[in-house]
Amino acid sequence: MTRTVLRWVLALFYAAAGVIHLSNPAPFLTIMPPWVPAPTAVVALTGVAELAGAAGLLQPWSAPLRRAAGWGLALYALCVWPANLQHMFNDTARADGGLGLGYHIPRLAFQPVLIWLALWVGHATDWPGRRGATKGGA
């Protein structure tokens, strides 16, 4: 039950983020690391990836597709980590200090949790479940 609820929450989060990436790309372009080529296209593709991942998590008929969506969203969260770092660098360099480290450090620290959550709700992992427990107890 918990996994299903969190799968829906994560899918709705990514669907909303995908819509925002596509409908209002400007804020995302400001945090794009300078080494990323074709930033406008990358922001649009991230929106599409978020929507596709959300749809994959929510479809009821294919466990392999839900698993692929979990892997895809986990990889997505890993790939956008540099933009989150860039956001922190840009923001904390502002004269007023921006949102500050109290916002950025927890956000960056939550990224591994978001990666794990995508894998867990997509059934790509059962960790920290008991799948690897030995038979006969232990």
Alpha-carbon radius of gyration of the chain: 17
pLDDT tens column, 35-82? 999 999 999 999 999 999 999 999 888 889 999 999 999 999 999 999
- The per-residue pLDDT for 138 is 41
What gap in Å lies between CA 112 and CA 90, rounded to an integer? Answer: 22
Are the C-beta atoms of residues 9 and 120 closer than 8 Å to each other? no
pLDDT tens column, 89-134? 999 999 998 898 999 999 999 999 999 999 999 999 988 876 544 4
* SS (HEC) of 93-123: CCCCCCCCHHHHHHHHHHHHHHHHHHHHHCC
What gap in Å lies between CA 70 and CA 56, rounded to an integer? Answer: 8
